[in-house]
Amino acid sequence: MRLHTVRESCTLGQTFTLWPLGDIHLGSANCDKAAFFRVVDTIRADPDARWLGLGDYVEWITPKDKRWHAGGIDEAIINMANLDRIGDRYVEAISTILRPIMDKCWGMGKGNHEGTFEREHHTNLTQRILQACDAPGDLYLGWASITRVAFEDGNSHRASIRIYASHGWQAGRMAGAKVNQLDHLMGWIDGCRIYLQGHSHDRVVKTKTMLSTNPSFTKLVADDTYGAHCGSYLRTYQQDATAYGEEKGYPPVPIGPPTFTLTPTQEGVRVACIQGDR
């Protein structure tokens, strides 16, 4: 697990918006590129927007993969002209999209799609994306990470928050199982205010109120912590196209992630969650 620190200059009361970006699956014909591009444009236009990457940025599927389905590939991304350099083409495509918002990235993890490709082709895809975007190598977060975001104003006031992020492992098609798994995760990894998970393609948020004290041990404090399955940009079903999700009978899923607002104050960082479309 990677421990990572990010420092943000700010003023007290300034509100940042955190966007989890994962399970994009660019390169699939079922990827909702329009929805993904809208989020990228929103992040780019908002000076206080930040994002964390949760993996599965593209399909990373080749013709040798059992999930390969020629009709399920986005030919604007992968076609016969670049089939013999499919990994390079995937990196080029996602890097072109992410480069304009890379200055707002707090880190990028990897997912199971990256992991499968890396084991077969011996290359670290997330690090290659960072390199293609001219981003610092320390933004690579591996499979799981805790990121400490330290907000600092010009008067030596500091407030920090810790965020756990992982691509995730959750199985099961019912929402109850995903909520229970989030509850367990929030119980065995202490000290974080936000717990981000991908992989399930569902958008589920679990709120747990945790009792603690202020730093001077003079006051009880009850803070809401949030655990979230962070949605996807991969539609399970699409007219006139078939992908492995349809063949497996997976349910339709929400498009896009929940977002979180982070507001540094003298008492700490206030956190709120916004679910669904903005």
Q: In CATH, what number is assigned to the domain containing residue 94?
A: 3.60.21
How many angstroms from the chain centroid is the CA of residue 209? 23
Does the pLDDT at position 116 exceed 90? Answer: no
Amino acid 120: pLDDT: 86
Distance CA 124, CA 256 (A): 26
Q: Which of 22-26, 183-187, 227-231, 272-276 has the lowest mean pLDDT?
A: 272-276
pLDDT at res. 140: 97
| Residues 213-257 pLDDT 10s | 877 799 998 999 999 999 999 998 888 777 777 777 888 888 999
Between 17 and 223, the higher pLDDT residue = 17
Picking from 16-25, 72-81, 144-153, 218-227, which range would have the lowest pLDDT averaged per residue?
72-81
Inform me whether the pLDDT recorded for 172 exceeds 70: no
Identify the band that residue 85 occupies on the pLDDT scale cut at 50, 70 and 90: confident
Beta strands across the sheet bearing 49-53: 140-142, 105-109, 49-53, 16-21, 259-265, 268-274
User: For residue 32, is pLDDT > 90?
Assistant: yes
Please compute the mean of the pLDDT values over residues 87-93 and round it to a whole number: 93
Contacts of 163 (CB under 8 A, 6+ apart): 18, 52, 106, 146, 147, 149, 192, 193, 194, 195, 196
Q: Which domain holds residue 30?
A: 2-274
Q: Can you give the pLDDT at residue 105?
A: 98
| Mean pLDDT of the region 262-271 | 93
Say what percent of the chain tops pLDDT 90: 63
Domain count for the chain? 1
Res 70 pLDDT > 70: no
Separation CA 118–CA 62 (nearest Å): 12
- What's the farthest any 2 CA atoms get from each other in the chain? 67
Distances in Å between the Cα of 91 and the Cα atoms of 13, 78, 147, 204 are 38, 11, 25, 29
- Helix, coil or strand: residue 155: coil
